[in-house]
Amino acid sequence: MSWFMFGALMLLFEGPLFICNTPSKDVAVWHRLKLVESAARRKNLLAFLGANATRKVPQAVIIGVRKGGTRALLEMLNLHPDVVVAKAEVHFFDWDENYQKGLDWYREQMPVSLPHQLTVEKTPGYFTTGKASGRIHGMSSSTRLLLIVRDPAERVISDYTQVLYNRKERHKRYQPVEEILIQNGKLNVEYKAIQRSRYDIHMATWLSLFPLHQIHLVDGDALIEDPLSQLQEVEQFLQLPPRIKASNFYFNQTKGFYCLLAAGHEKCLDQSKGRPHPPVHQSVLRQLCLYFREPNQNFFRMVGRTFNWC
């Protein structure tokens, strides 16, 4: 690289670019690229990277579960220099109108990556959409799948909480959670949030196409308490070199959960994450726990591990 080129890059990045301690010039530039927010600067950087930078369909997909911590998992994975992530939920495999646009359209929704990097997309609706497993398998039978799960009863309440806040923000009427969950004195098992928490039913669909060793389960409750341990397991599953460290996390006392640190930059999930749940009558929670007892045991047998759920 000429001194002129080096100086131009210094101006482009508005700061020093350290290349000597990185495996290659391209990787060093890419590390900086992941921190650049300006679209114009991104375009200039990609031009510098040249033909090495391409868009690929994801080799790994976070398939769910909804309200399980998929956004947190994606942002934490993005700390890894060998990972690039699709920032928005693409809904390619679960929405017919997007799937009909074809694989080339899907590829264009992915971030630009270098040859050695892993592209990851997350759309939590995939797990509970019957068509999604076959469509992903049709794209590539070797796609690695990440499924983050949490206590299904808690997930139901979290699902309701999101709807509740959305309706409040739009000044729309809403029903108390008890009125939705209990109808005619019985648990409303047809409620969509309850059906989404039937992990055993949905997992059977995925296991009919993908071997269990191709699906990694992330403990959503443990991700909140000890994110590093979960991310280290994900690194191993994705066959990534260990790069995410304890120094990448700090506990935010105000928010009540871990935030991220990378290259001197801090990042916390937005205010829609970690919202407090509305109070729920204990009798309703007991009915939820009782209902999920057998489905949970079925799920545990399927995946060969147990979780500390009610």
Cα–Cα distance for residue pair 126/92, rounded to 1 Å: 9
**What kind and span of H or E run contains 233?**
helix 227-237
| pLDDT score, position 52 | 82
**What kind and span of H or E run contains 98?**
helix 96-99
| pLDDT score, position 24 | 47
| pLDDT score, position 271 | 60
Contact 293, 300 (CB under 8 A): no
| Tokens at 81, concatenated | 């220099």
| SS3 of residue 84 by DSSP | strand
DSSP string, 54-75: EE---SEEEEE-TTSSHHHHHH
* The CATH number, out of the four listed (2.60.120.10, 3.90.550.10, 3.40.50.300, 3.40.50.620), of the domain defined by the range 55-150+195-267: 3.40.50.300
- Is cis: bond before 120, omega within 30 of 0? no
| SS3 of residue 26 by DSSP | helix
Give pLDDT tens digits along the chain (310 positions): 433 333 333 333 333 333 233 344 455 555 555 554 445 555 555 555 666 889 999 999 999 999 999 999 999 999 999 999 999 999 999 999 999 999 999 999 999 999 999 999 999 999 999 999 999 999 999 999 999 999 999 999 999 998 888 888 888 888 999 999 999 999 999 999 999 999 999 999 999 999 999 999 999 999 999 999 999 999 999 999 999 999 999 998 887 889 998 877 888 877 656 677 888 999 999 999 999 999 999 999 999 999 999 8
Bridge partners (DSSP) of residue 219 are: 149
CA dihedral of residues 170, 171, 175, 178 (deg, nearest 10) = 80
Cα–Cα distance for residue pair 44/41, rounded to 1 Å: 5
Cα–Cα distance for residue pair 235/242, rounded to 1 Å: 6
| SS3 of residue 179 by DSSP | helix
Q: Where are the domains of the chain?
A: 1-52, 55-150+195-267, 153-192+276-303
| pLDDT score, position 216 | 98
